[in-house]
Amino acid sequence: MVKIKFITLGKTKTTCLETALQEYTKRLHPLATIEWVFHKNLKELERVLKGLPSFIALDSQGFSCNSLQFASLIQKEMRERGPRLTLVIGGDLGLSEAIKKECSLLLSLSPLTFTHQMTRLILLEQLYRAFEINKGSPYHK
């Protein structure tokens, strides 16, 4: 089973977003376990990330791809690094330059700007979609 860890600043404060996050976590459960790690500030986040061998960071200036390319990217990451993914989502001010330089991949979900709370849901749904694409499910039609 794949272990997916989301490391982010601040918790989800909106009930409807939290409900949707729980739904996609439940959908992913047969394929992956999801762990959410919340930090209070950017300095704390930087300190935690220094010890990680690799992680994907989300930023509007990162690599942009469609869902099929994202599914391939996730498959490649797991093939090269094992069944563990660590994804980092910044707060309302984004990520520091130090974090952007340390990540194994800087990824953009869209040229549009989303709140960090919405980004969690969009990324989780795209991960579910990627897993479904990779197993040949009709979900991505």
pLDDT of residue 121: 96
Question: What's the whole-number average pLDDT of the chain?
Answer: 94
What's the rounded Cα separation, in Å, for the pair 17 and 22? 9
Reported as a single tens digit per residue, the pLDDT across 69-101 is: 999 999 999 999 999 999 999 988 889 999 999
Task: Please report the domains of the chain, with CATH numbers, ordered by start residue.
Answer: 2-140 (3.40.1280.10)
pTM over 0.85: yes
Give tens-digit pLDDT for 23-47: 999 999 999 999 999 999 999 999 9
